[in-house]
A and B are shown apart, each in its own frame.
Chain A
């Protein structure tokens, strides 16, 4: 089975530009998470969805960040306008809401974002 698929893997963009990160969760998983990893703050949850509905977006830094999940197989994280402090690795992850393996969250390979 394919794992969590993220794109792009690497992106370098100029300050002020819009950035869109994409994620395809594992088929059959109905929870989706967006995490950000930086040296200063470690791994922090930005937002997560259950059955395409946002459950907790308290980690979204500010209005410049937005996330959508229009269907069970696709999600986007958008930053507009981007700033240098947004430079980080962004992880998408998914899991089942419940079930025998519902306790495990599987991660994508991450999207490395550099804002110059």
Chain B
């Protein structure tokens, strides 16, 4: 079974600075999807960014980018120019391409605080 590990329960960063959240995963599959979701205090799960494992290019969405290291099974999220609205729990998640095992497997989450 796949597992996802986020080793940083909490992180903080000054507004306008850059922060990187870590995520590692374990799988025997060669093709899969990886995601970062943001959960603000409202508790809604918001998709931040996604990465297909077969793509070598790292995904980027505006201020958010990932560093995907397939061999190391690492998938970190970089937030540039941090804003107060970025404060939230961030979850890393894995999804198999196997249509019989499509559930998202989540990490434990990292709580990000933005200091003004």
Using a CB–CB cutoff of 8 Å, the interface residues on chain A facing chain B are: 31, 33, 37, 42-43, 45, 48, 50, 55-56, 89, 91, 93, 95, 97-98, 103-107, 109-110, 112
Contacts and interface: CB of A to CB of B under 8 A. Distances in A.
A48 B102 CA distance: 9
Contact of B103 (A42, A56, A89, A91): A56
Contact of B44 (A48, A56, A107): A107
B43 A112 contact: yes
Given A103-B50, A103-B52, A110-B44, A50 B109 contact: no
A91 B106 CA distance: 14
A106 B43 CA distance: 14
13 contacts: A43-B91, A56-B103, A93-B45, A97-B102, A98-B99, A103-B52, A104-B33, A104-B47, A104-B50, A105-B104, A109-B43, A110-B43, A110-B45
